[in-house]
Amino acid sequence: MYHYLEEDLEELRTKLIKMGSLVDEQLDFAMKCLFEGRNELGDIVIERDSKVDKYDVKIDKLCQKIFALTQPVAVDLRLIMSALKINNDLERIGDIAVNIVERAKLLEGKAELIKEFGLNDMAVKVKIIVSKTIDSIVNNDHEIAIGVIKSDTIIDKLELEIFEKIIHKMEAEPAIIRPGVYCISLLKNFERLADHSTNIAEEVVFLVDSKMIKHKKDLGDLDIKAEEII
C-alpha cells in the first residue's frame, strides 16, 4: 500500500497552481512587451520559459509516480488524468507567450497598424480568458470553466473578422504585406490561447463534475454566459 497518496496529490495540485500562475504572468509580460514596447519584460518571458518547461516535466513525473505506486480511484484518478492534460496545455500557453514576444520584435513600430486591425481588443479578451481559466483551476470552479468554454465561440468569430481586415489591407496596400503576415501570425497565436484555455476548462469540468464536455456540446445546463467572462 502506498501511504503518501494524499501528500502527492496535494503536491500535484500545488504544482499545477504554481505553473498556472507562472504562465499567466508570462502572458501578461508578453502582452506588455507587444503593446507597451517593454522589451525588458519580453526578455524575462524568454528567460523564464525554461522554468515553465521544468514544471511540465515535474508534473508529468509526479503523475507517473502516483500511477506506478498506487491504484487511484474516483476523484483521485480524475485529478491525475486531468493534471496530465492541463499540464500540457499550460506548457503550450507558455510557449505562445514566447511566440508573442518574438512577434513583438518583428512588429516594433507598428502599434497603429496592430490597433487598426483590432488585435488590441482581441488580446484583452484572450488575456481575461486565460486568467479566468487559471482561476477555475485554483478554485475548482466549474461555472467559470463553462464560461471559458462558451467564450471560445466569440474568439473564433473575432479571429475571422480580424483576419479579413488584414487580408483586405494587404490587398489594398502591398507595402504592408510583411507586417500583415506577422499580424496574422499574432492573430493565430491569440486564437490558440483561447483553444488551450478551452481544453483546460473542459478538464476542470471533468474533474469537478465527472462530466466530459467536447466540442462545446452540453453547455446549456448553466446560466453563465460567455459575456460574463469577457
Q: Give the pLDDT confidence score for residue 205 in this predicted structure.
A: 94
Identify the DSSP state of 105: H
* Contact partners, residue 1, CB within 8 Å, separation at least 6: 70
Q: pTM for this one?
A: 0.91
Q: Where are the alpha helices (DSSP H) in 37-176?
A: 39-69, 74-106, 111-117, 119-139, 142-172
Q: Give the pLDDT confidence score for residue 203 in this predicted structure.
A: 95
In tens, the pLDDT along 37-55 reads 999 999 999 999 999 999 9
Q: Which residue segments constitute the domains of the chain, with CATH numbers given?
A: 5-228 (1.20.58.220)
Dihedral, CA atoms, 18, 135, 147, 30, nearest 10 degrees?
-60
Q: 213 and 205 in contact (C-beta within 8 Å)?
A: yes
Average pLDDT of the residues of the chain: 91
Q: Give the pLDDT confidence score for residue 226 in this predicted structure.
A: 52
In tens, the pLDDT along 132-182 reads 999 999 999 999 999 999 999 999 999 999 999 999 999 999 999 999 999
Query: What kind and span of H or E run contains 10?
Result: helix 5-36
Look-up: residue for cell 498506487? Answer: 70
Look-up: residue for cell 514544471? Answer: 55
Phi (first) and psi of residue 72, to 5 degrees: -65, 145
* Contact partners, residue 143, CB within 8 Å, separation at least 6: 222, 224
In tens, the pLDDT along 82-116 reads 999 999 999 999 999 999 999 999 999 999 999 99
